[in-house]
Structure 1
Amino acid sequence: MDKIRLTNMKFYGYHGVFAEENRLGQRFNVDITLEVDLAEAAATDDLTKSIDYGDVFSRVQKIVEGEPKKLLEAVAEQITTELLTAYSILQQCTVVLIKPDPPIPGHYDSVSVEITRSKVKNG
């Protein structure tokens, strides 16, 4: 399966368990891997046979900068659901949602979750 990757997308959102996170917000980085057959797009040089990177970015931005969630897992799940629904040619989607400098005791560079979801094939 071919892959499209969008890496280190940066957003500002209000997700987290702590009230300060919901009030003050913080940075989030997102990496996306889209698994799709790109043979037709490559052969025809036709964007309609692929996935528009700008559209992916906009959809992810709307979610990460949108309604606050408590858990990174919930945000990542919402992103995978949105992308799998939006693109009929998309077979599998992996989202890595990174919270740099999390407000937890200790010395952490970041925390992250990685979720992979696939379309269910019938028959």
Structure 2
Amino acid sequence: MTTPFTGDRIILKDLGFYGYHGLFSEEAKLGQRFFVDLECGVDLGAPGETDAIGHTVSYADIYDVVKATFEGKRTKLIEALAQNIVTALFDSFADIDWIVIRVRKPEAPIAMVRGEAAIELHRARTH
């Protein structure tokens, strides 16, 4: 196994979702946009050599798990939302060794003219 957070990776960036996560009742009622950036540590040697989908994790399948988890249980904190996504990905794909996930909230309820609030988790699979 490679050192966590180094080596080959599958990257999905700027995945946009509309959801109702947040602490405040307005967030639960009105919802808002969220963006997810994701890096999954996967050995890509075999698919690089064989050019065969059966030797890798499909980024389309990763997206499906992220979307289903995002649209599932509502969370108050984006930290909990990110952890739920990480857990679902580890549960779904045994070939993923580590995950770096960033959840961005451009309409966070703070008085900013421009920018976004975000969190980032770094998680390695515990075997």
Same fold (TM over 0.5): yes
User: TM-score w.r.t. structure 1 length?
Assistant: 0.92
Alignment of 1:33-48 (within 5 A): 33-48=39-54
Corresponding position of 2:74: 68
**Count of residue correspondences:** 121
- Structure (1 or 2) with the greater strand fraction: 1
Q: Residue 93 of structure 1 contacts residue 116 of structure 1 at CA under 8 Å; is this kept in 2?
A: yes
Matched, 1:88 2:94: yes
Which consecutive residues of structure 2, in runs of 5 or more, have no partner in the other structure? 1-6
Shift of 1:62: 1.2
Q: Percent identity over the alignment?
A: 36
Aligned to 1:17: 23
Matched letter for residue 65 of structure 1: E
Task: Answer whether contact 1:30 1:95 (CA < 8 A) is retained.
Answer: yes
1:58 to 59, 64, 76: 64
Normalised by the length of structure 2, the TM-score is: 0.89
Unaligned runs of at least 5 residues, structure 1? none
Q: 1:115 Cα shift? A: 0.6
Match of 1:4 in 2: 10
